[in-house]
Structure 1
Amino acid sequence: MAESVEAAEAVDTGTAPGARLALRSTRVVTPEGIRPALVTVAGGRIAGVLPYDTVPPPDIPLEDVGDDAVLPGLVDTHVHVNDPGRTEWEGFRAATRAAAAGGVTTLIDMPLNSRPPTTTVEHLRVKQAVARPAVHVDTGFWGGAIPGNTADLRPLHDAGVFGFKCFLSPSGVEEFPELDRERLARAMAAIGGFGGLLIVHAEDPRELAEGPSGGRYTDFLASRPRAAENAAVETLVALARELGDRAPRVHVLHLSSADALPLIARAKADGVRITAETCPHFLTLTAEEVPDGATEFKCCPPIREAANQDALWAGLADGTIDCVVSDHSPCTGDLKTADFGSAWGGISSLQLGLSAVWTEARRRGHGIDDVARWMAAGPALLAGLDRKGAIEPGRDADFAVLATDETFTVDPARLHHRNPVTAYAGRTLGGVVRSTWLRGARIATDGTPAGPTGRLLERNN
């Protein structure tokens, strides 16, 4: 028997009479599982998750999406926007349009590839000024840890960055140098001193070979072996153990070597505060299928073999890997030459990540609730975004509505990021994003974003 919102308030005090939206689906993904529900929104936040047959008052707009799944808006904590300075590669307006079209409602921008990089408070303010009028989704910022800026880390933390990225091998841009072991230890001690988070591009340069010239993917893959990632993770764990209680939280970015999973699992079991992410391209693409000369597949660390991919999925299933994020790292088409040695390394997938991961997750027997945990709840937890990542009262009313049984073929011309280059061109993916909602307002419909209504986020806001 249907009940009214007013009647439901007796058992769900999160439902406010002033709710301005009611969203109904037979499949709402909540922290407790997937269930039929009516989700009400007031003041941009989720007011209640009510029984499916609850009748909203007539003055509250009802959006009934039928059997489409309602997920929490995705949180992508690994996006290279490149703006300002390399805006021809990407920009806040284009990147966040792509995010909205793909069900991503929150992203955090990486500190490099922009000029200036986010390595001082002054540079952060420059980037925020460029982003503020342009963003379609809520947007935060990572700071950078590079040689010589240890004194800038605490001020950046106080200014609201969510943590600090560093490289252990060359980043590919001269304005963002890598840290050697001594400088890494110094940065870890400084960041641990104020309770911060260090996120790390973990490849040991001693294990990397000179980038090969030519178009053979096997040569490029051999130049960046699993041993480079494994050794870098070993270094991070060892330094964290040495620092003990003074160590910061440490997060391994874009893990592609499954060989490192046992080391991460042991460190976690021993109480080391370390987490790890992987990316859609590592979970859905394999080295065996990369054609020679197809540098749209080039990224660092690289896409590895199918057996390695199977082990990454096992690491997701058992919780060793904490989240899945895009590492969206675009460039202009001319930089994707047919030479794996000179081509820019980066995969553009911000708009496609949800569908790509869902396609492969479903094939492997995982549910859409697993995908929401990996791509919304996990990244939100990493960054401390307490109001994001879940459909429950009090959280921001951020939703991605996904037609899980529908498919589409990727046409680069229909993507919203600035340059139509993607490793997914021509692939058929499952799961069509029907709409995306930010704080209760629809920001994209059937792949078409609305105007920029995102906000700039700072740590703890």
Structure 2
Amino acid sequence: MSKRVFTAKQVLLDGNDPVPATIIVDITSGRIVDIKPYICTRLEYADVDDTNWIDAGEKLILPGLVDAHVHLNEPGRTDWEGFWTGTRAAASGGVTTLVDMPLNSIPPTTTVENLEIKRKTAEGQCWTDVAFWGGVIPGNQDHLKPLVDAGVKGFKCFLIESGVDEFPCVDERDLRLAMQELHGCPTVLCFHAELDKSEHAESHTEPQDPTLYSTFLSSRPQQLEFDAITLITSLHKQYPSLRLHIVHLSAALALPLIRAAKASGLPLTVETCFHYLYLSAEHIPHGRPEFKCCPPVREGTNRDALWDALLDGTIDCVVSDHSPCVASLKKIDEGDVMSAWGGISTLGLGLSLLYTEGSKRGVSIRQIVDWVCKKTAEHAGLAHRKGQLKVGYDADLIIWDSKAEFKVTKESLNFKNKLTPYEGLTLRGRVRKTFLRGNLIYDADAGGFASRTPGGMLL
């Protein structure tokens, strides 16, 4: 067996705090074949040459991140993002597996034929491993089981307009048809949980300033999420064997509903995003559309409640919801928040954002890894091979410098359209190296990407 050996004084193994350890990888399979609970010396592995001996020293070895909510937008809107640029950006932030959302590409992933178009487009372009979500839209319920058989990890639907014509939202009737079809299947149905129950009568109030973030925030109140999750949990009682999932929760108002559903035994899981845990509405400047996302970033007290829910297990995991677009759609020059595309670009920054904010709250790296590696792998049906450093698992790992600080600049971003609300921030903790199945794919110390050929697989 040809071996690659990783050793360090701090290795995060199987949910424990970091300990001295050595990980032995079979280069051919890319799997972890042994873990020793101490630091090995070169004398023990005299047959391993220098290129296959990686000593992280005082830096941490962590599992590669699994980002279960990413919009790569290819084919169809490749000028927004693409497999090549998106997965490179992900690798630079320690993400070794991502799951691509079914919308914003043309065609959307709502049939097996469309899934195959997307897979064919992705082949040979991915620096990380990539899996796929399917989509639920009105009238496609007959396509859902074939999509499960074709390998999608689950499905996403919208209860409010998605922003793109190819992916319309569903109503309660559509949901019942989809849930009847998926009931008993080994899959998950994910919800963009905003539901607007108001009647849009003609308004006679004075128009609000579209450059103010407060104008946008008032247009997407917490009640929309509360009403959506009320409907979801009500329907869930009728289909209790089907796992349901709330994507990008932003509203603390809905937390009691989620706690009640979980306490009743319903298989409901919930994610939130780096931006809801880092940003707060009070600190968003006027005329800055790069902060716009749907649902919106809310007030600091709401952010604190999300952190509490994450810590007590009400919220299961954290994802990026990387949702980029071309600069013209962000209305940067006009500063028009209301008409700008809603989405925040994060790939490459998530772990540092969470570590920076979490450190202020006494959160450990073990807890963070649980939220962005183990729990996201479980959510995406990849827990048998991703998200942990264990024998038999893919050797997806990162070398993490918890003491490093860096400033976010346009030049440091690797996604295609370099617009992010984080530009100019100084963050703590940085990925130094990223390994996919034991192979180096990103090396910050050597100036970036370690190969000219992407080695990611489609899962």
TM over 0.5: yes
2:228 equivalent to 1:236: no
> 1:339, CA displacement in angstroms?
1.0
| 8 Å Cα contact 1:45-1:440 kept in structure 2 | yes
Distance 2:349 2:9 in 1: 24
**Mapping of 1:415-430 within 5 angstroms?**
415-430=413-428
**Mapping of 1:309-388 within 5 angstroms?**
309-337=303-331, 338-385=335-382, 386-388=384-386
- Return the letter of the residue paired with 1:35: V
| 8 Å Cα contact 2:19-2:37 kept in structure 1 | no
2:19 equivalent to 1:35: yes
**Mapping of 1:39-188 within 5 angstroms?**
39-42=23-26, 43-55=29-41, 56-60=44-48, 61-188=52-179
Q: Which residue number corresponds to residue 216 of structure 2?
A: 220
> 1:437, CA displacement in angstroms?
0.5
| 8 Å Cα contact 1:207-1:224 kept in structure 2 | no
Distance 2:75 2:393 in 1: 31
- Deviation string 1:208-255 (CA, Å, 9 cap, x unpaired) is 98996610101100110111111111111100112334xx21000000
Distance 1:212 1:353 in 2: 33
Distance 1:178 1:171 in 2: 6
Q: Percent of pairs identical after alignment?
A: 48
Distance 1:454 1:328 in 2: 19
Q: Are the structure 2 counterparts of residues 107 and 207 from structure 1 closer, same or farther at C-alpha, using a change threshold of 3 Å?
A: farther
> 1:19, CA displacement in angstroms?
5.2
SS at match of 2:238: helix
| 8 Å Cα contact 1:207-1:225 kept in structure 2 | no
Distance 1:162 1:422 in 2: 28
| 8 Å Cα contact 1:299-1:345 kept in structure 2 | yes
SS at match of 1:81: coil
Q: Are the structure 2 counterparts of residues 212 and 401 from structure 1 closer, same or farther at C-alpha, using a change threshold of 3 Å?
A: farther
Q: Are the structure 2 counterparts of residues 445 and 264 from structure 1 closer, same or farther at C-alpha, using a change threshold of 3 Å?
A: same
Distance 2:240 2:118 in 1: 34
> 1:430, CA displacement in angstroms?
0.5
| 8 Å Cα contact 1:213-1:342 kept in structure 2 | no
Q: Which residue number corresponds to residue 399 of structure 2?
A: 401
Distance 2:131 2:307 in 1: 28
Q: Which residue number corresponds to residue 436 of structure 1?
A: 434
SS at match of 1:195: coil
- Deviation string 1:157-193 (CA, Å, 9 cap, x unpaired) is 1100000110000000001000011111211221124
Q: Are the structure 2 counterparts of residues 441 and 218 from structure 1 closer, same or farther at C-alpha, using a change threshold of 3 Å?
A: same
Q: How many residues align?
A: 438
- Deviation string 1:363-406 (CA, Å, 9 cap, x unpaired) is 11011111100000010001110100001111110002110111
> 1:51, CA displacement in angstroms?
2.6
**Mapping of 1:292-311 within 5 angstroms?**
292-311=286-305
Instruction: Determine which of 269, 276, 280 is the counterpart of 1:282.
Output: 276
Q: Are the structure 2 counterparts of residues 84 and 32 from structure 1 closer, same or farther at C-alpha, using a change threshold of 3 Å?
A: closer
Distance 1:208 1:19 in 2: 66
| 8 Å Cα contact 2:216-2:338 kept in structure 1 | yes
Distance 1:198 1:19 in 2: 42
Distance 1:314 1:244 in 2: 27
- Return the letter of the residue paired with 1:455: M
Moved more, 331-340 or 276-285: 331-340
> 1:52, CA displacement in angstroms?
2.2
> 1:206, CA displacement in angstroms?
1.8
> 1:123, CA displacement in angstroms?
0.5
| 8 Å Cα contact 1:207-1:227 kept in structure 2 | no
> 1:341, CA displacement in angstroms?
1.6
Distance 1:434 1:243 in 2: 45
> 1:327, CA displacement in angstroms?
0.0
Q: Which residue number corresponds to residue 445 of structure 1?
A: 443
Distance 2:251 2:198 in 1: 13
| 8 Å Cα contact 1:411-1:425 kept in structure 2 | yes
> 1:448, CA displacement in angstroms?
1.3
Distance 1:233 1:48 in 2: 44
Distance 2:58 2:456 in 1: 28
SS at match of 1:66: strand
Distance 2:434 2:239 in 1: 43
SS at match of 1:232: helix
Q: TM-score, normalised by structure 2?
A: 0.93
Distance 1:328 1:126 in 2: 22
Q: Are the structure 2 counterparts of residues 423 and 307 from structure 1 closer, same or farther at C-alpha, using a change threshold of 3 Å?
A: same
| 8 Å Cα contact 1:400-1:435 kept in structure 2 | yes
Distance 2:2 2:359 in 1: 35
Distance 1:132 1:192 in 2: 32
> 1:198, CA displacement in angstroms?
0.3
| 8 Å Cα contact 1:38-1:50 kept in structure 2 | yes
Moved more, 220-229 or 443-452: 443-452
For structure 2, the residue ranges without an aligned partner over 5 or more in a row are none
Moved more, 316-325 or 41-50: 41-50
| 8 Å Cα contact 1:277-1:324 kept in structure 2 | yes
For structure 1, the residue ranges without an aligned partner over 5 or more in a row are 1-17
> 1:54, CA displacement in angstroms?
2.5
| 8 Å Cα contact 1:280-1:353 kept in structure 2 | yes
Distance 1:31 1:249 in 2: 25
SS at match of 1:30: coil
Distance 1:242 1:309 in 2: 32
